[in-house]
Amino acid sequence: MKKVEAVVQPFKLEEVKEALKGIGIDGMTVIEVRGHGRQKGHTEVYRGQEYTVDLLPKVRFEMVIPDARLEEVIDTLTAAARTGKIGDGKIFVSDVSEAIRIRNGDRGDSAL
C-alpha cells in the first residue's frame, strides 16, 4: 500500500476531488494548509503598508491506496491540479506497512 499526499492550489480543490472520484478513489482526507515552496510568497500593499505574505494557502489531499493504483492516481492528480504556473504543488508517496479498519478489524488492502 502507498500513502499519497498532494499539496495543491485551493481553487483546484473541487476539480481534483472530482477527478479522484471519477477513477473510484473515495477515501481521502482534505486539509487546508499554509506554506510555500520556491516561490517564497509575495508582497502586497494594504493601507499604504507593504507586507510579505510568505505562507500561502494550499490544500493537502491524503489517501492510502493499493500499490497497483499508484500510477493511475498520480496521473489523475497531476492532470487535475496542473495550471502550468509556479505554485501548482507537489505529490509525495510513501510506503504504508499496515492499514486496519477499526469497525471490524479488516487488515491490508481490504481495510481500504
Q: pLDDT tens digits for 35-68?
A: 877 766 667 677 777 777 778 889 999 999 999 9
State mean pLDDT over 85-102.
94
Separation of alpha carbons 73 and 19, rounded Å: 9
CATH number at residue 32: 3.30.70.120
- Domain assignment of residue 97, given as a range: 2-111
pTM for this prediction: 0.85
Tally of helices (H runs) and strands (E runs) in the chain: 2, 6
Q: pLDDT tens digits for 2-38?
A: 999 999 999 999 999 999 999 999 899 999 999 877 7
Question: Which pLDDT score, from 0 to 100, does residue 41 have?
Answer: 63
Q: How many domains are there within the chain?
A: 1
Set of cell numbers at residue 28:
481521502
**Cβ contacts of 18 within 8 Å, gap of 6 or more:** 80
Which residue type does 19 have? A
